Amino acid sequence: MRQLANQTVGRAEKTEVLSDDLLQIERRMELVRVVSHNTHKRMVACLLGQIGTDAEKRHKKLPLTALSQAMQDGGNQLGEESLIGKMMEMCGDAENRLASELMQHEMNIEKEILDPLNQLAEVDIPNILKQRRQLAKLVLDYDSARATKSIISGTNTQALTAKADSLKEEVDEAMNKMELCKDQLSADMYNFFSKEADYARYYVMLLEAQADHHRKSLTLLESVLPTIQAQQDSWTEKPAFGTALDEHLKRSSREIALPIEACVMMLLETGMKEEGLFRIAAGASKLKKLKAALDCSTSQLEEFYSDPHAVAGALKSYLRELPEPLMTYHLYDEWIQASNVPDPDKRLQALWVTCDQLPKNNKANFRYLIKFLAKLAQESDVNKMTPSNIAIVLGPNLLWAKTEGSLAEMAAATSVHVVTIIEPIIQHADWFFPEDVDFNVSGMFSMPAPLPNNVSHLTPPDYDSGTIERKRPGSMVGPDGELPRRDRKGPIHYENFRRHLVLSIYLSIYLSNMGEGGFECKFLI
């Protein structure tokens, strides 16, 4: 009981055997243990695989592996004929390779960083701290023995003197044990302090490993993406509406854009005698369905033959939604200048020169469309769509300025010129494009029945289009610097058109811009 009391008292006045620097190392070591433990715990939570398992099992348990398997199964179900199926299969394989890379990365993290951190926080530092507790116990034993010896040494009895000699040996033994423990503890603590840079290196290694993992993953993705993108680009079934003309033609291996050919063929079949074609708005739902059908390149269009106004609306929408007008931005000024030529013959000559400058694909599709519109105008006695009316409602969808102003500015600066450009081209389509056009250029559609032989030609009765000779730009300038005037049998009558143009221009803007707005407006010029 006396020894226990001495130990208790000794706790308040115990001998301190560690130097100040060792005490500082002790405090830091405890903090390092705590933060290393917390870091290890959070780092393990960041891993997606099961820590401690073999590579194969770990790979199977990764979420990326499950995603890869789901993609590949979905691709197999959809089959090769589906673009989604192809993309899922190729992306599933890429995800599987990413999963393998991630599995290898996590195993390296576990081996090179997590295990050493765990060893430090759960083994190395606790062992040192255990020695520190052992030293504290030895110090208490030493202090207790020393205190007992001091009490007994104060008496002079012979029996207690013999006891004092025994206690001296006990104190010496306690001090030796304490010194041995202290020396070992000091060595371990100094060793820990000297290796602090090595322990700090684990965190640098973590970032290096992550950087290496992301580099390898990026390299893998960059090697896969071109193949996937090429497969995506090679797929022909892509929307035509809103796609550049050249891109659509190249992707679909066509000469004439599908929406143009499909709509023209359907209109040739059932719409040539429809009054107000391109002027009367179609039902919005029907038009939306037809556009969607054309976008997916379906040939099942029979249900739309009975609604020519929806077909005409789809054709107008396609032309209007082109990123660049069919008659192009870069020739806009040339078209406007040609329309301003006062002499009718010279105006036709200037329009022909500008038309001849159209890019190949634009020219082929423009020629196809104009030939159809000329054919439509031949039935103007029935459908009321004269070249002037056609130019008013369809012209703004063929040519517009790159930067458009207000509605009034468009009406004054654009639509007037567009109408004066499109109308004569439709009137003299055979002069601008003398070659015959096979409207069923792709062979996808059935040809309509031929028109009656007694249908009159579009050319005004007092004008013979064959008397105007087309010339190349270099040969158009005569000796006096003027465009040569060609012989003609009579003037081209534009007076009627000019008288009514001002009254009709705002209606043309509304028709061209509102298109399928849900109202019907009929007018004659």
What pLDDT shows up at residue 514?
46
Question: What would the two tokens of residue 245 be?
Answer: 């003309």
**Local structure of 43: helix, strand or coil:** helix
What CATH number did the domain enclosing 126 receive?
1.20.1270.60
**Is the alpha carbon torsion for 67, 70, 75, 76 positive or negative?**
positive
- Whether 281 and 391 map to the same domain: the answer is yes
Residue 499 lies in a domain: no
DSSP symbols for 428-440? THHHH--S---S-
- Whether 175 and 43 map to the same domain: the answer is yes
**Would you call 100 exposed, middle or buried from its count of C-beta atoms within 10 A (0-12, 13-18, 19+)?**
middle
Nearest residue to 202 via CA among 86, 262, 112 = 112
- Whether 148 and 291 map to the same domain: the answer is no
pLDDT in tens, 380-428: 999 999 999 999 999 999 998 887 554 445 444 556 778 899 999 999 9
Residue 13 lies in a domain: no
Give the span between the Cα atoms of 324 and 343, in whole angstroms.
Answer: 30
- Whether 341 and 264 map to the same domain: the answer is yes
Structural domain tally of the chain?
2
Question: What would the two tokens of residue 337 be?
Answer: 């200048």
Full residue range of the structural domain in which residue 291 is found: 245-432
pLDDT in tens, 118-177: 999 999 999 999 998 898 888 888 888 888 777 776 555 566 666 767 778 888 888 898
Q: Phi and psi for 446 in degrees, rounded to 5?
A: -80, 140
What pLDDT shows up at residue 468?
45
Question: What would the two tokens of residue 101 be?
Answer: 């890379």
When mean pLDDT is compared across 13-27, 45-59, 139-153, 467-481, the lowest value belongs to 467-481
Question: Does the pLDDT of residue 242 top 50, yes or no?
Answer: yes
Domain end point (choices 398, 432, 466):
432
DSSP symbols for 112-156? IIIHHHHHIIIIIHHHHHHHHHHHHHHHHHHHHHHHHHHHHHT--
- Whether 86 and 190 map to the same domain: the answer is yes
- Whether 226 and 274 map to the same domain: the answer is no
Residue 87 lies in a domain: yes
Residue 448 lies in a domain: no
Domain end point (choices 432, 460, 478):
432
pLDDT in tens, 444-488: 776 544 544 443 333 333 334 444 455 443 333 333 434 333 333
Angle between helices 332-339 and 344-356 (to 10 degrees): 170
Residue 252 lies in a domain: yes
- Whether 127 and 189 map to the same domain: the answer is yes
Residue 339 lies in a domain: yes
- Whether 190 and 254 map to the same domain: the answer is no
pLDDT in tens, 506-524: 444 444 444 444 333 333 3
Biggest distance spanned by C-alpha atoms of the chain: 160
Give the span between the Cα atoms of 278 and 400, in whole angstroms.
Answer: 18
3-state secondary structure 242-311: CCCHHHHHHHHCCCCCHHHHHHHHHHHHHCCCCCCCCCCCCCHHHHHHHHHHHHCCCCCCHHHCCCHHHH
Residue 240 lies in a domain: no
- Whether 106 and 63 map to the same domain: the answer is yes
- Whether 217 and 325 map to the same domain: the answer is no
Residue 65 lies in a domain: yes
Q: Are 138 and 177 in contact (CB under 8 A)?
A: yes
What CATH number did the domain enclosing 302 receive?
1.10.555.10
- Whether 169 and 252 map to the same domain: the answer is no
- Whether 188 and 42 map to the same domain: the answer is yes
What pLDDT shows up at residue 370?
95
Q: Are 408 and 505 in contact (CB under 8 A)?
A: no
Domain end point (choices 235, 264, 283):
235
